[in-house]
Amino acid sequence: REDICNFVISAIDYPMVRGIPTDCHRNNWFSGLCCHKITLDYWQTARETLRTLRLNKRDGKPGYGDCEDVSLLFTAIFLALHFSAWECFGYVLEGGQILGGHGWSIFNDENSICRLYEATLSEPPAYPSGYPKINPEATEWQVGPLTYQPFAKFNRGEYYENEEAEDPLKALRIGLRGKETRKKHEAITKAWGIKTKPLRRPGLLTKLRWR
């Protein structure tokens, strides 16, 4: 399980273009005769995220995926090996204020202790102590000053909605810019004591353009 935790964080980077996160996906057939572009918040399957890693490997580059893409990959690998894990979609909050929409995982370690997995970190925490212990039946979880509040928790066999969470439709209305805020990543960095991937080596464009 430690190997999975380390692999997913280390092998997949965050998609950044001109200093800000992007979720634009393009399909191009026959030299542009047939093109399809998705600019909404596209949720990659675990297979699609792994495919970015396989295709980029020949050029010595990592795979790419944002918070829900990489957490879905983590959850899928755990479930494929018959380990207990859940995918969570929701919000991260600080002081009651929504910082952005987010995706993360929860999993059971070898001692059946449930822990929270943050896939956007730039390096893996110490295993298992670096992954916060949580009560899987709770409706939200604290990591330092940060609150992880899921509106949905699911795996291949079960699906739950959190009636106490903020309206899930809000996540659709705020769009990618509302989900991928700099203040969300700064708060995650502070709570975990590890920089998120977009903040690992922020360039000039990131400092100027990303709010």
> How far are the Cα atoms of 11, 15, 200, 202 from residue 18, in angstroms, in the given order?
22, 10, 15, 11
Other C-beta atoms closer than 10 Å to the C-beta of 59 total 6
DSSP SS3 for 195:
coil
| pTM check: above 0.85 | yes
The answer to whether residue 171 scores a pLDDT higher than 80 is no
The answer to whether residue 163 scores a pLDDT higher than 70 is yes
Q: Mean pLDDT throughout 89-105?
A: 93
Q: What is the pLDDT of residue 178?
A: 66
Q: With beta carbons less than 8 A apart as the criterion, state whether 164 and 87 touch.
A: no
Q: How far apart are CA 164 and CA 101, in angstroms?
A: 16
Q: With beta carbons less than 8 A apart as the criterion, state whether 92 and 174 touch.
A: no
- Residue 38's DSSP bridge partners are 25
Q: With beta carbons less than 8 A apart as the criterion, state whether 104 and 148 touch.
A: yes
Q: What is the pLDDT of residue 173?
A: 65
Q: At 38, is the pLDDT very low, low, confident or very high (cuts 50, 70, 90)?
A: confident
Q: What is the pLDDT of residue 32?
A: 76
Sequence-distant (6+) residues with CB within 8 A of 97 are none
Q: Mean pLDDT throughout 27-35?
A: 79
Place of tokens 């353009």: 209
Q: At 175, is the pLDDT very low, low, confident or very high (cuts 50, 70, 90)?
A: low
Q: Mean pLDDT throughout 120-124?
A: 97
